[in-house]
Amino acid sequence: MANVRTGDGGTNPQLSGRRVDSRSADLASRRTSLSFQRTRMSADRTLMSVIRTSLSLIGFGFTIYQFFRYLRESAGATEVIRSAAPRNFGVALVSLGIGMLFLGIWKHIAFMLELRAERKAFADRGWIPGDDRFPISVTLVFATLLLLFGLVAIVGMVMRTGPFH
């Protein structure tokens, strides 16, 4: 399929030497452009599922750590719960959540860069309009903030300092 530029700046697609009407070309261009938007939203939904799982791991690990720390510091429980196992288990869960979130963010960024490059190639060929841009991913911003929160939590748990101790 080859696109021939017209005098008004539009494209006039031709298929095997056969002329295709401009309405069909416009509809195909819109569908292709919308498919890029659907793919972008699908990548955001995938990142949201990573966020959900990571948040559960971070929250559960932090809760275990805080619960046993409070239990140990309450009256008379110091001798009963002296083991570092609850702390280590909580730190392991938070670490797992942070690692999963980091990998999810990394894969999301790599996929979005690839998708933008492919979209740019389509726009350069004139197959889709090149004027609409991908908006900033609010999901990616939230995931990055959650990653920073998880890092602060793990540092506080390991060093036994910070806002969560």
Segment 85-111, tens digit of pLDDT: 888 899 999 999 999 999 999 999 999
Residue 58, classified by CB atoms within 10 Å of its CB into exposed (0-12), middle (13-18) or buried (19+), is: buried
Residue 79, classified by CB atoms within 10 Å of its CB into exposed (0-12), middle (13-18) or buried (19+), is: exposed
Token look-up 């920073």 returns 148
C-alpha to C-alpha distance for 80 and 18, rounded to whole angstroms: 84
pLDDT 10s digits, 42-101: 999 999 999 999 999 999 998 998 888 787 777 565 565 566 888 889 999 999 999 999
